[in-house]
Amino acid sequence: MQKQTLIGPFSQVITMDNLPLKGALTDDKLQIISEAGILIKDNVIAAIGKFSEMYANTNTTDIVTLKGKHVCLPGLIDAHTHICFGGTRATDYAMRNAGKTYLEIAKAGGGIWDTVTQTRKSTKEELTKNTIKRANRHLKNGVTTLEVKSGYGLSVEEELKMLYAIKEANKSTASDLISTCLAAHMLPKDYTGSEEEYLREISTTLFPKLKEEGLTNRIDAFIEESAFSEEQIKAYFEKAKEFGFDITVHADQFSTSGSQTAIEHKAISADHLEASTEKEIMLLAKSDVIAMALPGASIGLGCAFTPARKILDAGGALAIASDHNPGSAPMGDLLTQASILGTFQKLTNAEVLAGITFRAAAALNLQDRGTLKPGMLADLSIFHTDNYNEILYNQGNLKPCMVWKNGTLVYNKHNS
């Protein structure tokens, strides 16, 4: 017999249903169900309607009656994070704010290689434990699905260690962790060959193991002057496609060419885009590639935001993620960052919420979450307010009071 749970009444359920994947959104397009109830059967939504009517017609159902005013959103989705890592980069942050350049910080022992060194020193068990801790922090902030990248191992053995840690962490947190292999993060400093030789080694040695052990279905690469060029990455992505991996790209963070690479290789998303010009914006808008803004990196580095307004007005699909990492985006608070991006880029609340729900789900190639409607996973973020506008208005200060994942209550502020 199926387990049934009726939750309500909600002042508002913001379904995020019947909205397009691409283009600008106005707030009046949001489907809002007032005085609503949500019926869950096992781990999916069975029905959404008026709570009073659903309550009167229920039989063998557990009823969770909410006291006070509550707004329900789909569980939030953070589609770009690096929360599996060792150590800290607090010194980098202090040096950057004191005016030091990226090169100066790297010469002083900081930068990505510092995290690589500290991650390599960490055991798989330590990485697993810290990934769980960070994932659970995101969960309390309403994030029920988050992508987690490798990329601080930068060798076959160390990348495997990270991906094993992510897989183990996924078993011990209520969140869904979607792993991505970012072995093409940069050329390791201790690698004696060329960029092409490193990429060939990874693609021929690591890719088969990823498939055999089900460690990931996603391959990422950093296309940048300090990492890999469009030409260098071509064979790498072609090999990834041969194995059936989905592709995503760190693109246009400091220079352009990454978004063009994403389009040419039919990537699911192009992430960062802080340096994108009108040319890249139009190319992305005409493509099926989802543009992913990472406001956490802009805040952490003190640089321009992704041109989100222009991307949407051009007809592009925009997702928003935290980029939670130890270097450029240590905050790791999706709702706060998305709210700030909305302020600076003049995004409607509908556009911001779409970017962290169903459009983020599309960036992970997930069709079973991101909206609230029958048949979708019962992932719910519930806020103690009677008006959904309060959520972004408070810029992350209004946290969820309850979080449900797969039809199970996994966080209750009043019991924590």
**Tell me: the pLDDT tens digits for 150-175?**
999 999 999 999 999 999 999 999 99
Choosing from 321, 342, 363, the residue where a domain stops is: 363
**Beta carbons within 8 Å of 84's beta carbon, 6+ residues apart:** 119, 127, 130, 131, 148, 149, 150, 152, 162, 165, 166, 169
Distance between first and last Cα of the chain: 31
Give the distance, in angstroms, between the CA of residue 239 and the centroid of all CA atoms in the same chain. Answer: 25
Per-residue confidence at 3, pLDDT binned at 50, 70, 90?
confident
Instruction: Give the whole-angstrom CA distance, residue 243 versus residue 220.
Output: 14
What would the mean pLDDT of 397-401 be, rounded to a whole number? 98
| % of the chain with per-residue pLDDT over 90 | 94
d(CA 135, CA 118): 20
Residue with tokens 């199970």: 408
Are the C-beta atoms of residues 273 and 310 closer than 8 Å to each other? Answer: no
Smallest Cα–Cα separation from 195: which of 185, 204, 206? 185
Tell me the sheet residues that pair with 402. 382, 412
Kindly give the residue spans of alpha helices, DSSP state H, lying in 316-412. Answer: 334-345, 349-355, 358-363, 389-393
pLDDT at 2 over 80: no
Helix spans in 66-107 (H) = 90-97, 102-107
326 plus 402 within the same structural domain = no
Q: Do 210 and 292 sit in the same domain of this protein?
A: yes
Lowest-confidence region among 61-70, 97-106, 244-253, 372-381: 97-106
CATH number of the domain residue 232 falls in: 3.20.20.140
Shared domain for 84 and 171, answered yes or no, is yes
How much is the pLDDT for 18?
Answer: 98
Residue 36 reports pLDDT greater than 80: yes
> Are residue 162 and residue 190 in the same domain, yes or no?
yes
Instruction: Please say if the pLDDT value at position 224 is more than 60.
Output: yes
**Residues 222, 354 within the same domain:** yes
151 with 100, same domain?
A: yes
pLDDT class of 61 with cuts at 50, 70, 90: confident
Contact in structure between 272 and 292 (CB atoms under 8 Å): yes
> Is pLDDT larger for residue 104 or for residue 306?
306
- Shared-domain flag, residues 84 and 70: no
Q: Is the pLDDT of residue 1 over 70?
A: no
pLDDT band at 416 (very low <50, low <70, confident <90, very high): low
Which residues make beta-bridge pairs with 49? 37
Contact indicator for 69, 34 with CB cutoff of 8 Å: no
**To the nearest whole number, what is the mean pLDDT of the chain?**
96
> Six-digit token pair at 378?
């019962």
Number of domains in the chain: 2
Q: How long is the chain?
A: 416
Here the CATH number for the domain that contains residue 374 is 2.30.40.10
381: domain range? 4-74+370-415
Residue 102 pLDDT > 80, yes or no?
A: no
Find the helix or strand (DSSP H, E) in which 167 lies.
helix 156-171
- 22 and 160 within one domain: no
Last residue of a domain, one of 345, 363, 381: 363
84 and 198 in a single domain? The answer is: yes
Query: Hey, what are 104's tokens?
Result: 């100066």
Q: Are residues 57 and 167 in the same domain?
A: no
C-beta separation of 380 from 393 below 8 A: no
Distance between CA atoms of 115 and 86, rounded to whole angstroms? 6
How is residue 293 written in tokens?
């803004």
Write down the pTM of the prediction: 0.97
Q: Determine how β-strand 176-184 pairs with β-strand 269-272.
A: unpaired
Exposed/middle/buried for residue 320 (C-beta within 10 Å: 0-12, 13-18, 19+): buried
Q: Mean pLDDT over residues 60-86, rounded?
A: 95
231: which residues sit within 8 A by CB, 6+ positions away?
none
* Domain termination residue (choose one: 347, 363, 379): 363
Task: Indicate if the pLDDT at residue 415 is higher than 80.
Answer: no
Q: Is 287 exposed, middle or buried (0-12, 13-18, 19+ CB in 10 A)?
A: buried
Residue 226 confidence (pLDDT): 87
pLDDT of residue 46: 96
Return the pLDDT at 218: 98
* C-alpha closest to that of 293 among 19, 82, 150, 79: 79
Does 128 lie in the same domain as 35? Answer: no
95 has pLDDT over 60: yes
Mean pLDDT, to the nearest integer, of 212-238? 96
The tokens for 62 are 């557990």
pLDDT tens, residue by residue, 277-334? 999 999 999 999 999 999 999 999 999 999 999 999 999 999 999 999 999 999 999 9
Q: Where are the beta strands (DSSP E) in 262-384?
A: 269-272, 290-293, 318-320, 380-383
pLDDT given for residue 59 in this prediction = 79
Task: Give CA–CA dist 32/19, Å, rounded.
Answer: 12
Left (φ > 0), alpha (ψ -120 to 50) or beta: where does 394 sit?
alpha
Torsion of CA 17, 21, 22, 23, to 10 degrees: 10
Report the pLDDT averaged over residues 17-37.
98
The predicted structure's pLDDT at residue 282: 98
HEC profile of 204-237? HHHHHHHHHCCCCCEEEEEECCCCECHHHHHHHH
159 with 196, same domain: the answer is yes
Q: What is the pLDDT of residue 191?
A: 97
Of the pLDDT bands very low, low, confident and very high (cuts 50, 70, 90), residue 57 is confident
